[in-house]
Structure 1
């Protein structure tokens, strides 16, 4: 390494320290990359790969990007899963002696992405992960807002993967001894970056963040997270909120397949649509509210008290139109308080952030007044509205401030006496300059003469080329700059005034920097209060959005059934029903403890999948706390929702569609309870007819006998409809079709009973298959139907006898028994117990 130049030696030292990141090394107006980093960046960013002399015979590979455009380049690299270490010049190159001092000021990673790279409605989550043998502990945070949460889950890799994906984790921090291939391989499919940090001790300054946490594994996760943030962000993490354990039992659990298949947050990979449930419901007026609503959609509630609180507020707003319009107006004035607070804590807030904070605090009391009047959110009654901070900002800031303090003019006249003095000097000086310009015009007779200023040249007298011949030596004009249009001059008198003005300006700027630092320090004293206020404002805005959508579309308030009844009259698909050019057919659904499974048959394109999605979305909307598209809705509070819809292979890419189908089905069969909702769309279609039908029937029997979950099961295996006669809790439904001669009309109405035909040939005809293929298919279908009519068809179901409850109980006990660890007397006691249960004693 001694062969390299001092600058390159310094670069290599930093690169060794940040070996897992691309190092952006600031040189003048560019960020440069060298060696392997340059090759990677040139490929990923389409940059020209050049070379630089570095003290050796061969030039080292190099490429670079201009500093003013660096944000876009960093974003492209982060989106591809890279980390970027930003090296800045820490001193003025013109004043440096020897090598300019440089160091890494921040490491940008997929989980700590710079706020300017984020859409205001988006969030990026970082998690630390501890594997303690019999479970996993996760500490999660969103760095741009300070939001935090803790999660403990069982030691199951599928559950862990689902948790990481459903919480939208972009980067996970583990110890160097963490060797789970499954987590590391997620990078291949989801760009989930895995980072290493072995330090997990919690510094004294952060212990207040976890004072309510006793679990040692969660505390270790918190320490690892904070240490990683300090290493990468190079600043205090004082904006982080207190960590609290997120109880999964408080929320409706939906696996990744469900969130993806239903397009709750993002369109599916195969979809061209841009409308998701979140975007459809998002009538919020602020970024705060939009992000809050996104959380509500991805994490619906199970707590009926909280659900009814949201529903009560919708009712209040929609029956108090004036309050709703006033709220709309005030919410529209909000700026992103969460992120402003984070920038204040980070020390990166600028004057415009402070002005936005002032404007937000100005409308907060009016929003708070509406909340108090509703009497629905009493927990917000005593909110600290930070009126002292608003008063401070009102007294100090001008109504129009620059983005940077060094531009001057941040503070009002009268706020600081010393600053007023320097400004008075500048104002007097500017008036003097105007007088001097008029005096020089009169003295020289040059009417085009003007006095100007720029940062490079300072003050000058500018004379056009045509008037240069009129200049006399006794005027004392000293040439300063030659232009194509004329000359610029300075005089002793102007130079003296320039010194006075620039000195006053320099002192004013320095003082404004001191005052701004003090202002930020005073704002920091109320960080916690402002974060609580931001949370409240986000909740109210999200609730406002649900009120608007409910009112605009004529939705009805859902009621919740403790008995597990699902009774929806004239339900509609929320998104499809909103399309003005589409007449959507409403449908009912009814399920209770005596009807837990609906087998749905009917033709392709007849509406089976849409009906099931409609039922799912209505259930989810109700548990978000939104009114639902129906005439009336009585619903259970579901604990989990499982779906198998479509041919997604997102969970375990590289697997066959059928394997993915079985894995997703297994997830439901293993985890569902009687309080869950299962939706299987044409399960078993990825294999042979008999295999598929056998699997479908076996799953239906298992769900009915062992789980009892509410289940919607669409199928083209019409033989399965016979289960209605042998399984008490199964009911057949079909989508109606009107058939006249050979003309088929899909009615999209779901009714009782089974479908006789699938009308696949009709759908094939609509797809414009060759006429010869259609006619041949009709001939074959007629032959198959004749065979079936004369009893030659062998695809009949074999009905399983119902397993008595006492047998199921014995089965569960036996699963837990380890005969190798039983004494003879314990075995005899167990046998006697089993015999009694068999006899029903």
Structure 2
């Protein structure tokens, strides 16, 4: 249920949302992936007053100590703001108290799944406070540039102040160490805008039908080996880059990794040993106001994990020894031993050499006990000896209990069998809740001796304890706590010094995350035969494959070509049911996203223009939560797209208008298509409205394509070819063929066939070409030729290949122009014949006998 919290002067009062009673829990798919779902993100939102909406955002990830600041000049519908917030999926959203009833708050509430709101007093939203926190928390070498940036972004600074001052320090009672917080300013430009509905429809992060399935783009690409790499991959998919230089650098790095097998194997092997560096560093720099025993114990764990992290960095430097791309060389330089030598030396002087982070509870406890070197504190050494002796006593106790003739079942002899009882097989186990306990295999005879207490019987074992073991556990626990307490001062000194170098360690963590993501891309490229794309002004794909469907149907998937330029920007794709229209348009969109995150794509050749917006209207289900029908939902989505689409965007439309009557659906499809053509965006429009293809066929920028199928043996068998072909769908009456295959009654099929023939004849008479349409085809062909020549001028083809291509282009142009000229002749002859026939019919209707008259004779009336 949606809830928000309101506060004034530091008080927090839970309140029910106004919409809670009428708005059930939403079933909208989330964009969070299971591997990164534990992030705790808080967002502060500050809005300007006036007609032009300027929104300041500050998002803090409390799990990774990262702050993202953004200031957006948005439209009245706040589409950019909602998209940006939705990508991060904050667990709580902070608003100014005066914005409790604002339009922005209600729009955010309606578009995000069950947000929790907190309203803060206006005095906490201060740009001066934001600048002061920036001085205290930002990395020293980034402070000046961030202050300059925030100086011109007043609302982002206000959001930063409210979030840091009120939420983290007052509500969570935590303080960041000085100069240790990662702060990034992300402008609204620089990344592709992908709205939340498109993220769900294209299954970028999560499968629509099964949330646990890996059949999504994130599930496919997530070959990462570190938590940092998985988080970076998710963020990159949701915000693909539009910076050509950045993408080229990633392509070069992936190519470098995929072509050097030894380096690639070494990098993947090194990355397997990394702990979650971001969370470790966050735990170190985010200090609670009161030091509890739990915090002291966790601090020791953090230092051990930090040692594991720092010791693995130099291996990355060594693994990238053969790197040649600029991005890999930059990562290698960041991981050089000189950059973190002071931290490594500090840890080596304090911790024992062989201490590493362990996942098993008992091993981790032992590592905490012995992490600090001996001799640092004599009392610490004594406490360790006590701990060691108590553990040895526990082992001896189990050995005595399990020894022959030490304990037995009731009586020394079995009265029924007249034989001595068997020994008991005992195992000493440990978990963090019960500490040491005894485990007995289930096959041992019962009842157990009275010495055993707290007995729990499970399927294949019995778990229990003894009074002596309980006392030893308490002794061991006291010794453990004493060791941790005596180690605390040494550990805190180490952590204080590490905080001074936090910026270096965070940068290395980001570099390792980038390396992990690039190595995952290289893994995909080599194992799935992916190709490096080019960045050009045209979308050209040869033998492209749907990356997700290809994995599911690896032996059956049929690749297809795609080509789109400004003269073929609106592509109408027709075809019968199940012919692959949806798969075709989705594959183009998914490959575009892959290309703009720096990944290779599943094709034999691919070039892409930089796409700044991606919209998809492909859902076909009713929105039951909002009591909205399929047709109303798709009209709402199309209204959203038409309001925000711009040149340089891409739109996918699948089966628009089929939720209403054929006449209304076609009319709306034509009107919406006209608007999309005028937007100069790339549009892939899959439809069953064949009249749409006919009506728009002569428009500049429109191309008709279809997915082909074959009907054989008198329409008794239909074969889907899943091949894209030029032109509208041939009139093969595929629907009637499918109806015949499902064994409808013959009389129904006969009537349907007769009606279809009559409608076809009407369409033929209606489709007679006029000279104006033929001339528009000629103009369209000339514009296409001009565009092809411009592309050829900018191409990097060899001279011989270019000459061959130009000769083929010339021949194709001549053939197509001749076809158009022939159409003009046929059209003229048809019109003359039609006019003559119409004249004869008119004369006959008047009783005129033309054979009785000369050419100039006057008609004779009867």
Task: Flag whether TM exceeds 0.5 (same fold).
Answer: yes
Indicate the residue corresponding to 2:351 in structure 1: 396
Identify if the C-alpha distance between structure 1 residues 782 and 352 changes in structure 2 by more than 3 Å, giving closer, same or farther: farther
Deviations 1:801-837 (A, max 9, x none): 99x9xxxxxxxxxxxxxxxxxxxxxxxxxxxxxxxxx
Q: Distance in 2 between matches of 1:551 and 1:143?
A: 36
Please give the alpha-carbon distance, in whole angstroms, between the structure 1 residues aligned to 2:345 and 2:495.
14
Q: Work out whether 1:165 is the aligned partner of 2:86.
A: yes
- 1:684 alignment partner in structure 2: 657
Is 1:200 the counterpart of 2:93? The answer is no
Aligned to 2:508: 533
Instruction: Determine the structure 2 residue equivalent to 1:633.
Output: 606
Q: Deviation at 1:166?
A: 3.1
Structure 2 CA distance for aligned equivalents of residues 433 and 687 of structure 1 = 80
- Say whether residues 1:310 and 2:261 are aligned partners: no
User: Which residue in the other structure is 2:168 paired with?
Assistant: 229
Q: 1:383 aligns with which of 319, 326, 334?
A: 334
Q: Deviations over 1:735-757 (max 9, x none)?
A: 11111112111110010111135
The CA RMSD over aligned residues, in Å, is 4.5
Distance 1:206 1:675, change over 3 A: closer
**Structure 1 CA distance, aligned partners of 2:545 and 2:87?**
27
**How big is the shift at 1:314?**
0.9
CA drift at 1:407: 9.7
Q: What corresponds to 1:249 in structure 2?
A: 189
1:477-508 CA distances to partner (integer Å, 9 max, x unpaired)?
xxxxxxx999989xxxxxxxx99x99998764
Cα shift at 1:342: 0.7
Which residue number corresponds to residue 783 of structure 2?
none
Unpaired runs of at least 5, structure 2: 1-9, 139-145, 288-294, 398-404, 408-429, 435-448, 452-463, 780-862
**2:214–2:220: 8 Å Cα contact kept in structure 1?**
no
Matched, 1:782 2:701: no
In structure 2, relative to structure 1, the CA distance for the partners of 1:405 and 1:574 (3 Å cut) is closer
**Is 2:180–2:503's contact at 8 Å kept on the other side of the alignment?**
no
Q: Deviations over 1:291-316 (max 9, x none)?
A: 11111111111111111111111111
Deviations 1:714-759 (A, max 9, x none): 1111112224542132111011111111211111001011113563
> Which residue is equivalent to 2:102?
180
2: CA distance between counterparts of 1:624 and 1:400? 34
Deviations 1:576-632 (A, max 9, x none): 112356411111011122221111111011001100001111111111111111110
Match runs of 1:137-156 below 5 Å: 137-153=56-72, 154-156=74-76
The SS at the match of 1:236 is strand
Mapped pair 1:578 → 2:551: yes
Q: Which residue matches 1:218?
A: 156
Offset at residue 272 of structure 1 (A):
8.6
> Does 1:547 find its partner at 2:519?
no
Contact 1:259–1:298 (8 Å) recurs in 2: yes
Q: Which residue of 684, 706, 724 corresponds with 1:734?
A: 706
C-alpha deviation, 1:118, in angstroms = 8.0
C-alpha distance in structure 2 between counterparts of 1:612 and 1:121, whole Å:
30
Aligned counterparts, 1:52-451, within 5 A = 119-120=35-36, 123-133=39-49, 134=52, 135-153=54-72, 154-159=74-79, 160-178=81-99, 179-180=101-102, 183-184=105-106, 187=109, 190-198=113-121, 199-201=124-126, 202=129, 204-208=132-136, 209=138, 211-212=147-148, 213-214=150-151, 215-226=153-164, 227-238=166-177, 241-268=181-208, 274-347=214-287, 348=295, 349-371=298-320, 373-375=322-324, 376-377=326-327, 378-380=329-331, 382-383=333-334, 385-394=339-348, 395-397=350-352, 398-399=355-356, 409-419=369-379, 421-423=381-383, 426=386
| Structure 2 Cα separation of the partners of residues 18 and 276 of structure 1 | 40
Distance 2:147 2:246 in 1: 26
User: Residues 519-547 of structure 1, C-alpha deviation per residue, up to 9 Å, x if partnerless?
Assistant: 32232222222111111110000010011
The structure-2 alpha-carbon separation of the partners of 1:278 and 1:415, relative to structure 1 and needing over 3 Å to count, comes to farther
Matched, 1:722 2:642: no
Tell me the CA shift for residue 132 of structure 1: 0.7
- Alignment length, in residue pairs? 654
**Matches of 1:518 and 1:268, distance apart in 2:** 50
Distance in 1 between residues matched to 2:267 and 2:65, nearest whole Å: 26
Equivalent residues of 2:574, 2:686 under 8 A apart = yes
Give 3-state SS (helix, strand or coil) of 1:634's partner: strand
Contact 1:738–1:747 under 8 Å retained in 2: yes
Matches within 5 A, 1:639-678: 639-647=612-620, 653-678=626-651
| Aligned position for 2:809 | none
Q: Which residue of 2 aligns with 1:744?
A: 718
- The Cα of 1:661 is off from its aligned counterpart by 1.5
Q: Classify the secondary structure of the residue corresponding to 2:183.
A: coil
Q: How has the CA–CA distance of structure 1 residues 301 and 447 changed in structure 2, closer, same or farther, with 3 Å as cutoff?
A: closer
Cα distance in 2 between the residues matched to 1:264 and 1:432: 54
Return the TM-score normalized by structure 2: 0.67
| 1:415, distance to aligned residue in structure 2 (A) | 5.0
Q: Shift of residue 192 of structure 1?
A: 1.6
CA distance in 2, matches of 1:736, 1:393: 67
Structure 1 gap ranges (5+): 1-15, 23-39, 41-78, 82-109, 438-445, 449-453, 457-464, 468-483, 490-497, 805-841
Equivalent position of 2:572 in the other structure: 599
Conservation of the 8 A alpha-carbon contact between 1:311 and 1:627: yes
Say if 2:301 and 2:368, in contact at 8 Å, map to a contact too: no
Question: In structure 2, what is the Cα distance between the partners aligned to 1:391 and 1:335?
Answer: 20
**TM-superposition CA deviations, 1:84-134 (whole Å, max 9, x none):** xxxxxxxxxxxxxxxxxxxxxxxxxx99x9xxx984565443211111123
Rate the CA distance shift 1:118–1:415 in 2: closer, same or farther, 3 A. farther
| More divergent stretch after superposition (376-385 vs 336-345) | 376-385
Secondary structure of 2:310 counterpart: helix
TM-superposition CA deviations, 1:642-697 (whole Å, max 9, x none): 11112256799443322321232233323222311121112222222122112212
Q: Secondary structure at the match of 2:334?
A: coil
Q: Which has the higher relative contact order, 1 or 2, with Cα contacts under 8 A spaced 6 or more apart?
A: 2
> Aligned residue for 2:14?
20
Q: How far does residue 779 in structure 1 lie from its aligned partner after superposition? A: 2.4
In the alignment, does 2:483 pair up with 1:560? no
Distance in structure 2 (CA, Å) of the matches to 1:736 and 1:358: 61
8 Å Cα contact 1:644-1:680 kept in structure 2: yes
With over 3 angstroms needed to count, the CA separation of the structure-2 counterparts of 1:185 and 1:247, relative to structure 1, is closer
Give the CA deviation at 1:634: 1.5
- Would the aligned equivalents of 2:45 and 2:56 in 1 still touch at CA under 8 Å? yes
Q: Deviation of residue 425 (structure 1)?
A: 6.4
Q: Distance in 1 between matches of 2:565 and 2:466?
A: 91
TM-score w.r.t. the length of structure 1 is 0.69
User: Residues 164 and 634 from structure 1, CA distance in 2 versus in 1: closer, same or farther, beyond 3 angstroms?
Assistant: same
Distance (whole Å) between structure 2 residues aligned to residue 486 and residue 633 of structure 1: 70
Alpha-carbon contact 1:256-1:651 (below 8 Å) kept: no
- The correspondence for 1:524, drawn from 486, 499, 507, is 499
Matches of 1:516 and 1:254 in 2, distance apart? 46
- Secondary structure class of the residue paired with 1:19: strand
Secondary structure of the residue that 2:515 maps to in structure 1?
Answer: helix
Contact 1:406 1:509 in 2 (8 A): no
